[in-house]
Amino acid sequence: MELIARPRLLCYHKTAASGCFPTSILNAINRNAQKGIYFAMNTYKLLTPGPLTTTDTVKREMLADRCTWDSDYKAVTQKIRRQLLELAHVSPAEYTAVLMQGSGTFGVESVFTSVIGEGEKVLICSNGAYGERMTAICDHAKIAYTHYAEPYDRIPDAARVAGLLAADPAITHVAIVHSETTSGILNDIEAVGKAVKAAGRTYIVDAMSSFGGVEIPVAEWGIDFLISSANKCIQGVPGFSFIICRRGRLAESAGKARSLSLDLYEQWKEMEKDGKWRYTSPTHVVLAFSKALDELAEEGGIPARNRRYTENNRLLIEKMAGLGFDTYIGPEHQGPFITTFFYPRGISFAFGEFYAYIKERGYAIYPGKLTEADTFRVGSIGEIYPEDIEKLTGIIVGFLEMKKEARA
């Protein structure tokens, strides 16, 4: 691969002999190059919770244009829906998968505004910004709710959930975030699910940054609606969310939706016919996601991906501890997807300078999302391997040495 500088952008040039692109795509690239149009690829990797670093083969899928009415394209949508149910360990007779345009928050809002009807009420269990965002959705849509909030470094307690449900029979639904990327904490959705099912309520799980990266037996854990996104652990790109729905609960939502475009039931009803989305779908993103699903299977499925992510995370925490960086979440509840670190003690530390230093050397990390402490976050997911963690921590060693020299 040859990197060619151009006045506008940087172009990765591949010859036809390389076999990396079909001839038709290479011809299109060459025609665009003659017009002064070039294609840029990142010079750094993303150590973030999504969007994240994807494979070149996933990116390459987006070089083809598809018609939303085309039978081949609709077949891709149906393939994706089948594969998602397999990853969720559910039967197509009991569950279905619905794809929804927009980011993960669009998916959460679609579920809340479609399945919680007038006269119904949701218990929101939160310990971070994304659980709190559920309350904002309810405020905007005028959905009745009770908010059970834990500190950001503690998980919601299943016994407390059971008590709240027993005390308020008006609560019809319970919602929780699985992997809260505010901190990196992994909530016990299995235990909470048992309390919800024992009380006969509907269970909604935001598994945005966990689904595909850790096993979630959806039916076994009593989950009625699980929401995730294309650009997380399945390693696609941003553009749509998806919802694993218990068919019976979805059918009950008919006519409840407060939104036209986010109507989950109507989206499912149209998609169930032949794979056609109700409104324009993100065709390039869908193609990339289909490829990402295939690559997940080739890697060895969720167990293999979870092992890689877990090793990335273990190595990251170990190496960072050796450099004086403490984690915000303790080992009991730390998830393998993203980790929050406190600023180091004893040196002048500004995140902007730290971020720029790391980015110039090949990686992008995340700022902290806590208000009561100075922190930053590092993701372990995407097309990232232990050697990337070794490189990152080596870069951080260089930064710390630079700061010590400046202080001296």
How many angstroms separate the CA atoms of 343 and 334, rounded?
Answer: 18
The DSSP code sequence of 196-229 is: HHHTT-EEEEE-TTTBTTB---TTTTT-SEEEEE
How many angstroms separate the CA atoms of 189 and 175, rounded?
Answer: 10
Query: Alpha carbon 200 to chain centroid distance?
Result: 29
Query: pLDDT: is 10 or 363 the higher one?
Result: 363
Using CA atoms, how far residue 136 sits from 17, 41, 112, 131, 140, in Å, is 54, 36, 11, 9, 6
Which pLDDT value is given to residue 42? 60
Which pLDDT value is given to residue 11? 38
HSE of 388 in the Cβ direction (CA atoms, 13 Å)?
A: 23
Q: Which band of pLDDT confidence, cut at 50, 70 and 90, is reported for residue 17?
A: very low
Strand blocks (E) in 127-178: 144-149, 173-177
Q: Which residues of 247-277 are buried (b: 16+ CB within 10 A; e: fewer)?
A: bebbeebeebbbeeebbbbbbbebbeeebbb
Average pLDDT, the chain: 91
Does pLDDT of 63 surpass 90? yes
Does pLDDT of 157 surpass 60? yes
Which pLDDT value is given to residue 348? 86
Using CA atoms, how far residue 392 sits from 8, 147, 342, in Å, is 29, 39, 17
Q: What percent of the chain has pLDDT above 70?
A: 89
Q: Which band of pLDDT confidence, cut at 50, 70 and 90, is reported for residue 394?
A: very high
Query: Alpha carbon 295 to chain centroid distance?
Result: 17
* Amino acid found at 79: K
- Answer for the pair 225, 87: CB distance below 8 angstroms, yes or no: no
pLDDT tens digits, residue range 248-299?
A: 999 999 999 999 999 999 999 999 999 999 999 999 999 999 999 999 999 9
Which pLDDT value is given to residue 204? 98
Number of residues in the chain? 408
Q: Residue 17 corresponds to which tokens in the numbers above?
A: 């002999």
Contacts of 20 (CB under 8 A, 6+ apart): 14, 56, 60
Q: Which band of pLDDT confidence, cut at 50, 70 and 90, is reported for residue 384?
A: very high
Which pLDDT value is given to residue 372? 81
How many angstroms separate the CA atoms of 148 and 307, rounded?
Answer: 33
Which pLDDT value is given to residue 367? 93
pLDDT tens digits, residue range 41-61?
A: 568 999 998 899 999 999 999
Which pLDDT value is given to residue 347? 86
What fold is seen in the domain 301-407?
Aspartate Aminotransferase, domain 1 (3.90.1150)
What fold is seen in the domain 71-297?
Aspartate Aminotransferase; domain 2 (3.40.640)
The reported pTM is: 0.90
Contacts of 314 (CB under 8 A, 6+ apart): 336
Q: Which residues of 379-408 are buried (b: 16+ CB within 10 A; e: fewer)?
A: bbbbbbeeebbeebbebbeebbeebeeeee
Domain residue extents for the chain: 2-41, 71-297, 301-407
How many angstroms separate the CA atoms of 193 and 161, rounded?
Answer: 10
Q: Which band of pLDDT confidence, cut at 50, 70 and 90, is reported for residue 169?
A: very high
Which residue(s) pair with 82 in the sheet?
none
Q: Which band of pLDDT confidence, cut at 50, 70 and 90, is reported for residue 406?
A: confident
Q: Ramachandran region of residue 229, left (φ > 0), alpha (ψ -120 to 50) or beta?
A: beta
Coil, helix or strand at residue 13: strand
